[in-house]
Amino acid sequence: MHHTRPAAALAVLSMSACLLAGCSTGPEGDSGRAQASPVAARAAHTPHIRLNAADGQKHVSVRRGGRVTVAAGKITKVSLATANGRVVHGAVSSSGRTWAPDAVLDHDTAYRLTVVAAGAGGREATKGIAFTTVAASDRFTGTFTPGGGSTVGVGMPVSFTFDKAITDRKAVESAIEVGSSSGQAVVGHWFGPRRLDFRPQQYWKAHSVITVGIHLDGVKGAKGAYGEQDRTVRFTVGRGQVSTVDASAHRMTVVRDGKPLRTLLITAGAPNSTTWNGQMVISEKLTSTRMDGATVGFAGQYDIPDVPHAMRLSTSGTFVHGNYWGPDSVFGHSNISHGCVGLNDVKGGGDSHQDGAWFFDNSLVGDVVVVRNSDDRTIAPDNGLNGWNMSWDQWKAGSAR
């Protein structure tokens, strides 16, 4: 039986064919013949080999330096060997478009890489390079907090500390992407050449998920400083808790998700050792720790081996912690500490009903503690994770992007 195509289908097919052939219509409406350029036709079928190093390049990444990607074709042969002839084995992907070594390359080693690929119609392309990988001594690493998988408070910045001074701050900052499921814009700020923090304008939205993409592999941060890290980590923001200490009223009000949760009686810094004012972030929680005055400029004034329920607020030694050695009468009435915020507690910290234990159990790293009405200045933004004490304009001015 003879079938006739519908006219509409023929029209669509004709137009598709015309577009594919690059047709043109003359003044009389006649279709011109497709004039395919021989050069264009060759280019369309010639595979394109992409490598992660240039010929003669030094300081090449040990993770990416030997990898191969091919467009408009498939890999037919890869040869990767050290300058002294040791062969590096690898595998082609199922698509035939990528090849990777079985293991990372050696540091400070010369390699020769040759790739052959075939395109449609059997047209071949070959590319060969020689390169040298980065020396182990020329690496830099960024340690960061918080860790992947953790749950933190709304004030927790993403803070990187680099083991070498960074001179190309823009390259390093641009290789780290921090985003939030809340959609909040996140900006980096450099505290000197070794520290880079990221935060939004306001505290993180409660229950949001923060994604940190660390793509430093191959990034030159300074002379003799090349990154190798390439990973993505995620952490979760918990409920929103901000506690405000009124040093003159000797009280701390704990507010969770906008609602007052509890008011605790405290003792803050004595007149000759006042507590910093400002927004401080809990950076560490210690069930018990030793506090020696000699480490913070108060040698001989105290050395307590078992301070319970200690939560760090500054690098310089400010904590919120349980206090079992002060008489009950000082809490809510007078300031006797050497700069910390003290809560009533018992030796050993074993009584969960004590204020020190309660606050410890109900706090997360990343929670905010705001101190007001202390006879002292505002804490420095880089003393701990306390960049919230800068205006948003000041914070953005410290970005290298």
Q: Which of 177, 240, 172 is nearest to 210 (CA)?
A: 177
Residue 296 predicted with pLDDT over 70: no
Report residue 282's pLDDT band, with 50, 70 and 90 as the boundaries: very high
Mean pLDDT across 275-293: 92
Q: Where are the domains of the chain?
A: 43-134, 138-238, 241-389
**In this model, does residue 6 exceed pLDDT 50?**
no
User: What number is the average pLDDT over the span 133-151?
Assistant: 98
Q: Say which range, 264-268, 294-298, 306-310, 329-333, has the weakest mean pLDDT.
A: 294-298
**Stretch among 3-7, 12-16, 204-208 having the lowest mean pLDDT:** 12-16
User: 148 and 234 in contact (C-beta within 8 Å)?
Assistant: yes
- Answer whether residue 9 shows pLDDT above 50: no
| Higher-scoring residue by pLDDT: 304, 236 | 236
- The confidence band for 298, taking pLDDT boundaries of 50, 70 and 90, is low
In the numeric block, which tokens belong to residue 146? 């918080």
Residue 208, pLDDT above cutoff 70: yes
Tell me, yes or no, if the two domains 138-238 and 241-389 fold the same way. Answer: no
% of residues, the chain, pLDDT over 90: 84
Instruction: Give the pLDDT confidence score for residue 23 in this predicted structure.
Output: 35
Distance CA 245, CA 266 (A): 8
pLDDT at 374 over 90: yes
Q: What is the pLDDT of residue 301?
A: 61
At 148, is the pLDDT very low, low, confident or very high (cuts 50, 70, 90)? very high
* Average of per-residue pLDDT across 384-397: 98
* pLDDT of 83 higher than 90: yes
Q: What is the 3-state secondary structure (H, E, C) of the chain?
A: CCCCCCHHHHHHHHHHHHHHHCCCECCCCCECCCCCCHHHHHHHHCCEEEECCCCCCCCECCCCCCCEEEECCEEEEEEEEECCCCECCEEECCCCCEEEECCCCCCCCEEEEEEEEECHHHCEEEEEEEEEECCHHHEECEEEECCCCCEECCCCCEEEEECCCCCCHHHHHHCEEEEECCCCCEEEEECCCCEEEEEECCCCCCCCEEEEEEECCCCEEECCEEECCEEEEEEEECCCEEEEEECCCCEEEEEECCEEEEEEEEECECCCCCCCEEEEECCEEEEEEEEEHHHHCCCCCCEEEEEEEEEECCCCCCEEEEECCCCHHHCCCCCCECCCEEEECCCCCCCCCCHHHHHHHCCCCCCEEEEECCCCCECCCCCCCCHHHCCHHHHHHCCCC
Backbone torsions φ then ψ of 307, nearest 5 degrees:
-70, 120
Mean pLDDT in residue range 9-29: 36
pLDDT for res 305: 85
pLDDT of 1 higher than 70: no
User: Tell me, what's the pLDDT at 391?
Assistant: 98
pLDDT of residue 346: 97
Checking if the pLDDT of 267 tops 90, the result is yes
pLDDT given at position 299: 59
**Residue reference for tokens 């040093």:** 247
pLDDT computed for residue 43 by the predictor = 53
In the predicted structure, residue 29 carries a pLDDT above the cut 60 = no
Domain 241-389: give its CATH code: 2.40.440.10
pLDDT at 293: 58
Residue 302 has pLDDT above 70, yes or no: no
Summarize pLDDT for 324-369 with one digit per residue, the tens: 999 999 999 999 998 999 999 999 999 999 999 999 999 999 999 9
Range with the poorest average pLDDT among 4-18, 114-128, 131-145? 4-18
- Give the per-residue pLDDT at 25: 35
pLDDT of residue 294: 57
Residue 51 has pLDDT above 60, yes or no: yes
Question: What is the residue-averaged pLDDT of the chain?
Answer: 90
CATH architecture assignment, domain 138-238: Sandwich (2.60)
- Compute, in degrees rounded to 10, the torsion defined by CA atoms 344, 348, 352, 355: 10
Q: Which residues does the annotation mark as catalytic? A: 321, 340
Is the per-residue pLDDT at 215 higher than 80? yes
**Above 50 in pLDDT, residue 30?**
no
Return the pLDDT at 121: 81
Degrees, nearest 5: CA angle 161-163-166: 80
> Does pLDDT of 16 surpass 70?
no
In the predicted model, is pLDDT for residue 136 greater than 90? yes
Question: How do beta strands 142-145 and 230-237 pair?
Answer: unpaired
**Structural domain 43-134, CATH architecture:** Sandwich (2.60)
